[in-house]
Amino acid sequence: MLERAGLRVEPRAPAATRRSDAWAATFAWRERPGQPDVLRWLAFLAVLSIIGLIGSGAWVRLSGSGLGCPTWPDCTRASVVAPATYHALVEFVNRCIITTVGVVVALSVVASLLRRPFRRDLVLLSGGLVAGYVGEAVLGGITVLMKLAPTLVAAHLVLAMLLLADAVVLHWRAGSRERSSQVAVHRGVTLLADLMLLAALIVVAAGTVVAGTGPHSGSPGTPRFHFDLRSTAEFHALVGMFLFGLVVAAFFLLFVLRAPRAAWRRYSTAVGLLGLQGALGYATWFSHIEVDVTEAHVFVAGLLVVALVRFRLGFSSARPPATSVVRSVVFVGVGGGPQHQEPGQ
């Protein structure tokens, strides 16, 4: 009626939205092009700290410092800080990195909630980081209670890799203006990149079985898998070679589709790290699982996961076409769709 009388009636926002808007007006910030993006920086820190955590966790196991701090959260009954003994210090550094990851992850979820325009995908990804972190903490506690049972140690590392992948996606998407990822290339390319990720996950999982069978249990007298070490290492290396085969296939696909430079750059990083990882894997085996070489092998596994996830993300890019893989006509032509911008940007 009012409208018929020429008066425009604005729909009233639900009470919850009004409350959250008032709250946001006080605390939220608006990400603007050209200004530092808080969430993106936090996601970057999350990536770095989780890689550090994977490296320090491996060092705890390889140096036999698994029970270096016998209590939690204090290191000893007397102090939260470790005494100046090797195993206690290794475990203490690992705990410091765990705390850093926790702080960064908690800040990420707050930043994604306060960010305007609100992005559900970013909240879900940072929420995933928190969920994964809590999962890691629970799993870590049970692992100590179960005297470093190899299945739990293995699950701990696999979950850390998933957490890392989540942080990489969050970092990528926080830098884009898109809410949803739209496949901007030929389906075959994304399928291959997905297969590479799956193969990497299987190699990592198989690697944890080798580690659970091998000599470095994390602390003297802890249980081991009763597999044949050579067979587990052979299976692990075989899946690694399958991954290498997929990477070679990707080379031909990128070549035929005349992929743009950005795709080749991410591809080269992944290939370089995979080559290094393969070499380190054989060095680990032929050095009879020497601890320094094995540490490098686990650390590079984290870097490789980052490179493979970024390679995949390049094909569902929400970035401006001029700098992304959607540049080539062939690439956009099949399966591409119009990219939408979120309101307010």
Binding track, positions 66-105, relative to ligand HEM; x by CB under 6 A = ----------------------------------------
Gap between the Cα atoms of 321 and 336, Å rounded: 12
Binding-site string for ligand HEM from residue 160 to residue 199, where x marks contact by CB under 6 A and - marks none: ----------------------------------------
Considering only 110, 146, 152, 216, the residue that binds ligand HEM (CB under 6 A) is 216
The answer to whether residues 156 and 131 touch, using CB atoms and an 8 Å cutoff, is no
Smallest distance, ligand HEM to C-beta of residue 104, A: 22
**Can you tell me the distance from the alpha carbon of 8 to that of 10, in angstroms, rounded to the nearest whole number?**
6
Q: Which residues contact 72 (CB under 8 A, 6 or more apart)?
A: 141, 144
Among the residue ranges 79-87, 207-215, 320-328, 332-340, the one whose residues contact ligand HEM (CB under 6 A): 207-215
Between 46 and 237, CB nearer to ligand HEM: 237
- The count of other CB atoms within 10 Å of the CB of residue 273 is 19
DSSP summary character for residue 273: H
Does position 297 bind ligand HEM by CB under 6 A?
A: yes
The residue within the footprint of ligand HEM, chosen from 56, 65, 94, 208 (CB under 6 A), is 208
Label residue 64 left, alpha or beta by phi (over 0 means left) and psi (-120 to 50 means alpha).
Answer: left
Q: What is the DSSP letter of 29?
A: E
The amino acid that residue 177 corresponds to is R
Q: For 35, list phi and psi in degrees, rounded to 5.
A: -105, 155
Q: Work out whether 150 is an interface residue with ligand HEM (CB under 6 A).
A: no
Tell me which of 278, 321, 335, 336 binds ligand HEM, using CB under 6 A: 278
Q: Within positions 224 to 253, which residues make up the interface with ligand HEM, using CB under 6 A?
A: 233, 236-237, 240, 243
What are the tokens at 68? 């270096």
- 282 sits near ligand HEM (criterion: CB under 6 A): yes
Nearer residue to ligand HEM within complex by CB, 196 or 237:
237
Q: At what angle do helices 38-62 and 86-114 cross, to 10 degrees?
A: 160
* Complex with ligand HEM: residue 189 or 301, whichever CB lies closer: 301
Residue 109's closest CA among 130, 90, 83? Answer: 130
Q: Which is nearer to ligand HEM, 118 or 235 (CB)?
A: 235
- The whole-angstrom separation of Cα 219 and Cα 65 is 6
| Closest to ligand HEM by CB, 118 or 242 | 242
- DSSP assignment string, 291-342: HHHHHHHHHHHHHHHHHHHHHHHTTS--S-GGGSGGGSHHHHHTT--PPPPP
Which letter, b or e, does each residue of 290-313 get, where b requires 16 or more Cβ atoms within 10 Å of its Cβ?
ebebbbbbbbbbbbbbbbbbbbbb
Smallest gap from residue 274 Cβ to ligand HEM (A):
6
b/e string for 60-75 if b means 16 or more Cβ within 10 A? bbbbbbbbbbeeeeeb
Quick one: which of 301, 306, 325, 326 contacts ligand HEM (CB under 6 A)? 301
236 vs 319, beta carbon nearer ligand HEM: 236
Residues in contact with ligand HEM, shown as a per-residue x/- string from 31 to 70 under the rule CB under 6 A = ---------------------------x--x---------
Please work out the total of residues on this chain that contact ligand HEM, with binding judged by CB under 6 A.
30
For ligand HEM, the binding residues (CB under 6 A) are: 58, 61, 157, 200, 203-204, 207-208, 210-211, 214, 216, 233, 236-237, 240, 243, 274, 277-278, 281-282, 284-285, 289, 294, 297-298, 301, 304
